Every structure is written in C-alpha cells, then in structure tokens.
Copies of this chain bind each other. A is one copy, B any other.
Amino acid sequence: MSKKNAFYAQSGGVTAVINASACGVIETARKHSDRIGNVYAGRNGIIGALTEDLIDTSRESAAAIAALRHTPSGGFGSCRFKLKGLEESKREYERLIEVFRAHDIGYFFYNGGGDSADTCYKVSQLSEKMGFPVQAIHVPKTVDNDLPITDNCPGFGSVAKYIAVSTLEASYDVRSMAKTSTKVFVIEVMGRHAGWIAAAGGLVEDHGIPVVILFPEIKFNQETFLAKCKQMIEQHGYVTVVVSEGAHWPDGKFLAEQGTRDAFGHAQLGGAAPVVANMIKDALGYKYHWAVADYLQRAARHLASRSDVEQAYALGKAAVEFALNGENSIMPTVVRKSTSPYIWEIGKAPLSEVANVEKMMPAEFISEDGFGITPACKEYLYPLIEGEDYPPYKNGLPDYVTLENQSVEKKLAAFKLS
C-alpha cells in the first residue's frame, strides 16, 4: 500500500477539546509513519485547503502536539465557511481535490459539526468521481451536541460541566445575598436551536438550588414564567434562571430581540439575560444580577470534563485507525454501553446518515412545565461531565501551547475564494 499524506482541518466554532481530537489524529498518524506521511493542517480550516495554505504539523515537536490535548481553541485556526451543494460549490470541491492531489493527500480528517460532516461526505463522493480517491473521515465536534447517532459530541461535555459548575457557584452566591440584596440570578448560555447546554444548568437542582430553565424548544410564556419565579422566590428566598440564547416568543422572535433601541435607534445591544432579568424586576420588583457566559463557556479548558477530553482524543485516534482500515465516508461515534458506571466504546456511522441530520433534545428530557429537566435527562448528562482534566499551570495561568504553524510550500496557482 502506498504511503499518503493526511489533511486535517478544524471547522466552525472551536471548543475546549477540539485540539484534543487534533492531538489524537496527529499522534496516531505519527505512530503509523510507515503508512501515513505528513499530516498537513488547514490554516483557518477548510479555507487553508482552498487557498493551499497548509501547515506542516511534522515541524511541531512531540511535546507541542501533546500539549494540544490540554489547550482550548483551534490550534490551526478554524473558519465559518460553508461549502454548498456539489453543483453550487463545484469550483471549491474541485479545488480541494486539486490541492489534495498536489500534496499527495489520501486522507481527509475534518473536525466539525453538521455542516462539515456534509462537506466531508461530498468530498468523498466527488474524489472518487474525479479519479483521485480520498478517504474522508469526519471527526465530530460541537458544543451544541446536535450530531445524530453518537452518544454525545466532543466539546459539549466540557461546556455542560462549565455551565453546571458556574450555575452552582453563582447560585450559592445569590443564596448568600438574598436576604437584603439580589434575589434573582440569570445566566445566559449558548444553544440557538437546541437546549442541551441550558439543560446542564438544571443539574444544580440536585444541590438544592431553585432553578428555572428557558429552552429554545419551548415557546416562551411570560405569565407562567413569572409565576414560576415568584413561587420559587417565595419558597426559597431566591431563584436562578438559565436562559438559552435561543429562547424565543411564540412568534419565533428571540427574547434577546426585545425591541430595545439605543439613542441612535440601533437595535438593542444586549442578550436574553438582561431582558429576562428586567422582566422579573418590572413584574415582581426583585433585585437581580445577570451574566452572559458567551465564549467563556466553550473555551473553558481549565474546567474540562475528563470524559469529554478522553472522547475527543479517542475519536481523533479512531478516525486515523478507521482510515488505515480502509474506511471511507464515516464518522467515528461514541457508543454508550452503560450509564452508571459510564462505559462507552467507539463506533462508526456512515456520513450519509450524519449529514444534515440535527439531534434535538428529546421531549422526555424536559419537565412537564417546560422549565426543568427530567431524571432521564440527568442520567444522560452526568456521565458527560464526569471527572476533571486540569491543564498544567505556570505562573498562575494555564500553560497552553501556541504552535509554530509553519507553512508547506505552495505548488499551485492562487485561488480566489468566492
């Protein structure tokens, strides 16, 4: 079997553990140097492939690659750049194959969410048609946890842990202050379409915290929401609200778009959290605080879930091993064998069944009143936040790696992105 180079790229929003998958891909490829030549990474994701801006990962030391495992963000840069249908984006797909051919790339490892699974699928289809077969393997990654078939998506467990811990800590804080001061704490979390991350905030209920969740899956009802908050404050003295950025009114308008205008008439600036906090203040008069976690949640490698880090690495490793076994057009998955203790193994799914399928929160994970999570949901979530995996520290700060990211010499004419 001839030796081929590999191409690896990170896609879409980065996470606390996408680099752990990169580490799994590169370390495993290096172990099979008899069959895989260099691993080239796309600088800023697939754009790096299109513009032939490749990074030679073989120039990085073993220590630097190992440090990727504990470094958040995308070590090679990521991008938001969606390839469309094979006809519509024909020029781009053909260019990809051209670049792969020029650099003798036989393995395509694409690390991302739903869109990149679709791209990966199309590359495998087209490359065969174009007579330059590339084994395309998708490595799952998304904090949104919305890929099908796999038990969960790397990146999600760590965000879930961060949100559960942060919600717990802030709730302890407001509980301390509630007698004379803040009685309502609102935290806004990511998840425009699915409430997986918001659901993780609901785990604090098991620590005695009165918590109300606003899911994107449930149309917002101001009356029942305010009644629920009032009841909880009267019973517990305070309440914590976890609001998904995707929470919306029955007409589909996001809570965050409350029609607020600044002095110049620009649309409002804030997120859903201040809107919800003010709503409670206006209706019930309680003092509030609110936080918007934004990038802090998905970058929080300092509080990564150990099972998430392990799975992110294992899926990267499995992608390479599947490729070496001749697999094509698949995505390695996490298969849950048991919940308590959490036992999982690596499986695989054909990309034809992954691409363009979105996994939503099952209805049975949301409590009947729509403001909480069910025992089944907790049972699903707990294993995913299990264990800690602390990065090393130096002078009080995490010792994250910044790679050299040296370029591979270009062989083709320039390509203008459309």
> Which A residues are within 8 Å of any B CB, using their own CB?
10, 13-14, 16, 44-45, 47, 71-75, 77-81, 161, 164-166, 168-170, 172-181, 185, 187, 203-204, 207-208, 258-263, 266, 268-271, 273-275, 277-278, 282, 289-296, 298-303, 305, 382, 384-388, 390, 393, 395-398, 400, 402
Residues of chain B lying within 8 A (CB to CB) of residue A388: 390, 393
Do A185 and B396 touch across chains, with their CB atoms under 8 A apart? no
Among residues of B, the one whose C-beta sits closest to the C-beta of A386 is B396
Among residues of B, the one whose C-beta sits closest to the C-beta of A43 is B179
Do A402 and B208 touch across chains, with their CB atoms under 8 A apart? yes
Do A296 and B260 touch across chains, with their CB atoms under 8 A apart? no
Do A180 and B79 touch across chains, with their CB atoms under 8 A apart? yes
Do A176 and B77 touch across chains, with their CB atoms under 8 A apart? yes
Complex: A291 Cα to B173 Cα, angstroms:
19
Report the minimum CB–CB distance from A63 to chain B (whole Å): 18
- Among B71, B266, B289, B303, the residue within 8 A (CB) of A172 is B71
15 contacts between A and B (CB under 8 A): A44-B180, A75-B176, A77-B175, A169-B300, A187-B296, A204-B397, A259-B262, A262-B268, A266-B278, A266-B282, A269-B278, A273-B292, A291-B296, A296-B296, A305-B396
Complex: A183 Cα to B267 Cα, angstroms:
21
Residues of chain B lying within 8 A (CB to CB) of residue A402: 207-208
Residues of chain B lying within 8 A (CB to CB) of residue A292: 273, 290-292
- Among B45, B176, B203, B296, the residue within 8 A (CB) of A169 is B296
Complex: A120 Cα to B187 Cα, angstroms:
35
Complex: A385 Cα to B161 Cα, angstroms:
23
Do B173 and A14 touch across chains, with their CB atoms under 8 A apart? yes
Among residues of B, the one whose C-beta sits closest to the C-beta of A240 is B295
In the complex with contacts A170-B296, A174-B295, A263-B258, A387-B382 CB distance below 8 A: no
Interface centre among A174, A296, A301, A400 (most CB of B within 10 A): A296
Do A291 and B289 touch across chains, with their CB atoms under 8 A apart? no
> What are the 10 closest A-B residue pairs judged by CB atoms, nearest first?
A270-B270, A385-B396, A74-B176, A73-B172, A269-B274, A169-B299, A291-B294, A44-B179, A259-B263, A170-B295
Interface centre among A165, A175, A176, A266 (most CB of B within 10 A): A176
Residues of chain B lying within 8 A (CB to CB) of residue A293: 291, 296
Complex: A175 Cα to B78 Cα, angstroms:
9
In the complex with contacts A258-B263, A263-B259, A269-B278, A173-B397 CB distance below 8 A: no
- Among B77, B177, B302, B382, the residue within 8 A (CB) of A395 is B382
Do A295 and B396 touch across chains, with their CB atoms under 8 A apart? no
Residues of chain B lying within 8 A (CB to CB) of residue A74: 176-177
Complex: A172 Cα to B13 Cα, angstroms:
12
Other A-B pairs beyond A79-B177, A207-B402, A384-B396, 18, CB < 8 Å: A45-B179, A73-B175, A75-B176, A78-B176, A78-B177, A80-B177, A164-B396, A166-B299, A207-B400, A262-B278, A269-B275, A291-B296, A302-B303, A303-B303, A382-B395, A385-B397, A386-B395, A390-B390
Among residues of B, the one whose C-beta sits closest to the C-beta of A396 is B385
- Among B262, B289, B398, the residue within 8 A (CB) of A168 is B398
Complex: A271 Cα to B271 Cα, angstroms:
10
In the complex with contacts A176-B14, A263-B259, A185-B268 CB distance below 8 A: no
In the complex with contacts A291-B292, A296-B166, A177-B13 CB distance below 8 A: yes
Residues of chain B lying within 8 A (CB to CB) of residue A305: 396
Complex: A270 Cα to B270 Cα, angstroms:
5
Do B14 and A302 touch across chains, with their CB atoms under 8 A apart? no
Residues of chain B lying within 8 A (CB to CB) of residue A396: 161, 164, 305, 382, 384-387
Complex: A258 Cα to B270 Cα, angstroms:
12
